[in-house]
Amino acid sequence: MPTLKVNGRRVTVDSDATLLDAARAAGVEVPTLCQFDGLEPWGGCRLCVVDMSQANWDDDWFKVVTACNHPVDEGMTVITDSDRIIETRRVVLDLLLARCPDTPLIQQWALEYGIEQTSYTPNPDPDDCILCGLCTRVCDHIGVSAISSINRGWGREIAPPFNQPPPDCIGCLACAEICPTDCIPFETSNVRRKIWGKEFEMLRDPKTGEAVITKEQAEHFAERSGVPMTYFETSDRSKRREMAKTFEKLQVVK
Ligand code: SF4
Ligand code: SF4
Ligand code: FES
């Protein structure tokens, strides 16, 4: 378990931890946009940059690295708030504000770093996608990969293949839920769900009638986990009721 220093605070973390984990363990906040616990780090937004020096480097030699995907090592020194780190984050946010000038999340972060307006030419046709890649990574993570990043420059966006309803999408909404700017539209009701232009029928709990999951999602999870489809069709409320009945029986036995 390596021990390192973050902003002068000594901290010991697991050997597979990242510099971001070490900073959090030391109680030091590092801003992130494209990181999400449980998903492989990508290092795309570069907001989490920190200064890092290895134990065997000269005292004044530091390298700028992204904290969310950089491994820890024994004796490292990490500084999260040096002048050049603050300046690097300002540039990142200035560029993001040029891409997404009307997006509240980016406006807030930019303001925290003293930027009211971008110094670059703003996107002439902005939307709220900050290209953090969380949606595509979560979709890959669940084994579907129905969406991806397409085009370049201002035109870069997240979309299904050929901008058509994606055949592989299972309608789980994970991409929309994880999106930090809530920019993936969807509709969901007790009967139907629609996302990325694809419509899904909802499976309903046979006892309570509640919409639980799309048929495609239940099939996907059942196939991957070996758990019967009926488990995924059952609402949390029904599961809790069954559990309560089981406990009731256990008490009677006692
Ligand atoms: S709703 Fe479709 S595109 Fe979004 S994460 Fe689920 S499978 Fe992927
Ligand atoms: S749609 Fe949302 S989650 Fe996906 S890249 Fe854009 S901002 Fe990130
Ligand atoms: S949070 Fe580390 S690069 Fe985005």
Contacts of 135 (CB under 8 A, 6+ apart): 147, 158, 175, 176, 178, 179, 184
Q: How much of the chain, in percent, has pLDDT values that exceed 70?
A: 98
pLDDT given for residue 252 in this prediction: 60
Phi, psi values for residue 148, rounded to 5°: -155, 175
Report residues whose beta carbon is within 6 angstroms of any ligand 3 atom. 32-35, 43-48, 66, 68
pLDDT at residue 243 above 70? Answer: yes
What CA–CA distance (Å, rounded) separates 208 from 227? 21
CATH code of the region 3-81: 3.10.20.740
For the CA of 160, the nearest atom of ligand 1? 3
pLDDT given for residue 29 in this prediction: 97
For ligand 2, atom 3, name the residue with the nearest CA.
179
pLDDT given for residue 43 in this prediction: 94
pLDDT given for residue 119 in this prediction: 96
- Between these two residues, 95 and 249, which has the higher pLDDT value? 95
For ligand 1, atom 7, name the residue with the nearest CA.
169
53 C-alpha to center of ligand 2: Å? Answer: 32
pTM over 0.75: yes
For the CA of 46, the nearest atom of ligand 3? 3
How large is the angle between the packed helices 104-112 and 83-99, nearest 10 degrees?
A: 150
pLDDT given for residue 153 in this prediction: 81
- Tens of pLDDT, residues 180-229: 999 999 999 999 999 999 999 999 988 888 888 999 999 999 999 998 88
Ligand 1 lined by 159 (C-beta under 6 Å): no
Contacts of 222 (CB under 8 A, 6+ apart): 228, 229, 231, 232
User: For residue 135, which of 99, 103, 182 has the smallest C-alpha distance?
Assistant: 182
| 3-state secondary structure at position 76 | coil
For the CA of 43, the nearest atom of ligand 3? 3
185 C-alpha to center of ligand 3: Å? Answer: 24
**Is the distance from CB of 108 to CB of 115 less than 8 angstroms?**
no
Model confidence band, residue 154 (pLDDT cutoffs 50, 70, 90)? confident
pLDDT given for residue 178 in this prediction: 98
Mean pLDDT within 230-248: 79
Give the DSSP H or E segment for 4: strand 3-6
Mean pLDDT within 84-98: 98
The ligand that comes nearest to the alpha carbon of residue 133 is: 2
Residue ranges of the domains in the chain? Answer: 3-81, 134-244
164 C-alpha to center of ligand 1: Å? Answer: 14
Ligand 1 lined by 105 (C-beta under 6 Å): no
Model confidence band, residue 246 (pLDDT cutoffs 50, 70, 90)? confident
pLDDT given for residue 249 in this prediction: 74
pLDDT at residue 235 above 90? Answer: no
Q: How much of the chain, in percent, has pLDDT values that exceed 90?
A: 80
Ligand 1 lined by 172 (C-beta under 6 Å): yes
pLDDT given for residue 251 in this prediction: 66
